[in-house]
Amino acid sequence: MKEWGKCVSDGVPTLKCLEVVFGNIIFAASTFIIIVLFIMFVAGSFSYLTSAGNPERVKKAQSTLKFALIGFVLFLFAFLIIRTIDFLFLGGQGTLFKFTIGE
């Protein structure tokens, strides 16, 4: 309840609650993406190892691995772009991921 203590005034949520909500959404989305990518890599690798030379199954496994790699690269580039924007325009303070509403 400590985290919500600053955003509730007399039992009524204020706009400061949005900071906590947006931070939690970004953290949850990042975690979900990483888990899905890991599962795709494991499934594609297992499928590739058990294809027994069947060209159709090998192609499907390679496709799964390719899309997992593309997803990982996109996730990484999105993070790096946001960090670059933070460095160039906000002085590299690391506050871009910390949502704050003016007091």
What does the pLDDT look like over 44-100, one tens digit per residue? 999 999 999 899 999 999 999 999 999 999 999 998 998 888 888 877 776 666 666
Cβ neighbors of 42 (< 8 A, separation 6 or more) are none
- Domain coordinates in residue numbering, the chain: 2-90
Can you read off the two tokens belonging to residue 26? Answer: 């970004």
Helical segments of the chain, H only: 2-5, 17-49, 55-90
Judge if pTM exceeds 0.85: no
Beta-bridge partners for 16? none
Determine the residue type at 95.
T
Residue labelled with tokens 């975690």: 31
